[in-house]
Amino acid sequence: MDPKVSLWIMKTLLILALVYLAYIDWRTFRLPNAITLPLIFLGIAVNGVSDLRLSTPISALLGASLGYGSLWALNAGYRLLKNRNGIGMGDAKLLAALGACLGWGALPSILLIASITGLVGGSIWLKSRGHQLQQAFPFGPFLAIAGIIELLWPQLIPTLILSKLI
């Protein structure tokens, strides 16, 4: 099979998994381990042994570790301050999966895009449901959207957006 077709199929399957995870989180506030954990291991494995890599093996390992670790640390700090969780660990596993698939270099862009879309989308979602802005809303859909954007348009933030601002 042509490598370009195989890469297209792999990207399509990743996008479908991200859309499905976004839907589940939007409806249930849960990101199931049955999907996020295999995505982490598949991302590391594909980048480690396949010719269809989206990242280097080291970058995939670092991406998984930093993706999970950054949101875990953020939640731990929030828990110390507020005595409750601020972000779910399903979100940390989803970011780890994105880091494993796309490499650690994609994480800053993913977090920036997810944070901006999460602020706007979450505010609209909470207001439309009559909730206070302090109430929880699912962050996984915004991570999934950011992951899809980074998968389809890598380096969008540094090359197109930041270059115009600087």
Closest CA to 150 of 89, 116, 103: 103
DSSP E strand boundaries for the chain: none
pLDDT (tens digit per residue) in 18-39: 999 999 999 999 999 999 999 9
pLDDT at 130: 77
User: What ranges do the domains of the chain cover?
Assistant: 3-165
Mean pLDDT of the chain: 89
Structure tokens at 9: 């199929």
CA 3 to chain centre: 25
Instruction: Report the chain's terminal Cα–Cα distance, integer Å.
Output: 43
Q: How far, in Å, CA of 144 to CA of 162, rounded?
A: 22
Mean pLDDT on 143-160: 82
Q: How far, in Å, CA of 165 to CA of 144, rounded?
A: 26
Structure tokens at 126: 């909470």
pLDDT at 164: 64
Closest CA to 31 of 70, 81, 71, 74: 71
Determine if the pTM surpasses 0.85: yes
